[in-house]
Structure formats: structure tokens, C-alpha cells
């Protein structure tokens, strides 16, 4: 229904169901839980009002930025600096993954735990 109405994503502090269908459609849905029960579909629904979700508030024109792990509210006046910070984080994480694949920057405790369990060293 949300895709047909032109929504970009759905964020709810409630539960959703039919996760396989949501994933197959490729529609971003962020929910507090998954349930086998039919969710409430008849409201309440409001547009352009302040909201709270997961203890975080948001106002009209704020941005929600998220991935499979979390969503954050970016106040409208901080959107530009948030985009730059997100680009920096993405670059850092990509570089870090390359280093880890080469065996660099693996914490000593990882090698210790692997060794204690008879596994080969990560290095």
C-alpha cells in the first residue's frame, strides 16, 4: 500500500508483518518488532506533525537516516553537515574493510580468543 501511495519508506514504533513480502518488494521498512498478527491499518495517521519514535523526536522537514541496524533523526538545519559526516564514515568503513581483509587492524583479543579455541590466527 505504501509503495502504491508513493511513500519513500515507513518508520514505526510498532510492529509489522509480512517481512518476506516487504523484502521482496525492496521497500524500506523500519519497525520496532515483527508480529504474525494483523497490524492496525485504520489510523491514527497524521502528516506534517512532530513525531516521536524510539524515544527520539522529529519535526516536519527533519530527515530520517537509517540502515538495517538503526535510524537517526537529522534536524533540518544539520542536514548538510550530516551528509558530509556520513560520507566520511562510509569512506572510513570501506577502507577499514580492505585493511581487515589484508589481516591488518585485527584486535589482539581476537587472536587470543581464536587461539584459546584452537582456531588459526586471524593474522
Together in a domain, 29 and 82: no
- Cβ(18)–Cβ(25) below 8 Å: no
SS3 108: helix
Residue 37 to residue 87: CA distance in whole angstroms:
39
pLDDT of residue 40: 67
Together in a domain, 56 and 37: yes
Structural domain count, the chain: 2
Write the DSSP assignment of 96-116 as a string of letters: HHHHHHTT-S--HHHHHHHHH
Together in a domain, 58 and 92: no
Q: Which three cell numbers stand for residue 68?
A: 538495517
Together in a domain, 57 and 20: yes
CATH number at residue 26: 3.50.30.40
Together in a domain, 47 and 59: yes
Residue 86 to residue 62: CA distance in whole angstroms:
16
Together in a domain, 53 and 15: yes
Together in a domain, 69 and 85: no
Lowest mean pLDDT among 31-35, 56-60, 77-81: 56-60
> Pick the residue with more confidence: 45 or 49?
49
- The mean pLDDT of 88-112, rounded to a whole number, is 88
pLDDT of residue 43: 66
- The mean pLDDT of 32-51, rounded to a whole number, is 78
Query: Chain-wide mean pLDDT for the chain?
Result: 85
Together in a domain, 5 and 41: yes
Together in a domain, 14 and 54: yes
Q: Which three cell numbers stand for residue 37?
A: 498478527
Does the structure show a pLDDT above 80 at 42? no
Pairing of strands 29-34, 10-16: parallel
Together in a domain, 85 and 61: no
Q: Which of 74, 97, 113 is the last residue of a domain?
A: 74
Radius of gyration of the chain (CA): 20
Together in a domain, 107 and 65: no
pLDDT of residue 82: 92
Together in a domain, 42 and 97: no
Question: Which domain, by its residues, includes 63?
Answer: 1-74
Amino acid at each position: 500500500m505504501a509503495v502504491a501511495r508513493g511513500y519513500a519508506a515507513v518508520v514505526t514504533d510498532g510492529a509489522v508483518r509480512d517481512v518476506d513480502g516487504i523484502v521482496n518488494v525492496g521497500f524500506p521498512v523500519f519497525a520496532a518488532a515483527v508480529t504474525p498478527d494483523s497490524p492496525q491499518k485504520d489510523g491514527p495517521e497524521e502528516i506534517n506533525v512532530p513525531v516521536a519514535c524510539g524515544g527520539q523526536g522529529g519535526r516536519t522537514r527533519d530527515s530520517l537516516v537509517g540502515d538495517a541496524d538503526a535510524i537517526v533523526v537529522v534536524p533540518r538545519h544539520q542536514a548538510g553537515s550530516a551528509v558530509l559526516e556520513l560520507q566520511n564514515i562510509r569512506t572510513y568503513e570501506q577502507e577499514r574493510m580492505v585493511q581487515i581483509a589484508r589481516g591488518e587492524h585485527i584486535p589482539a583479543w581476537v587472536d587470543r580468543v581464536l587461539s584459546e579455541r584452537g582456531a588459526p590466527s586471524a593474522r
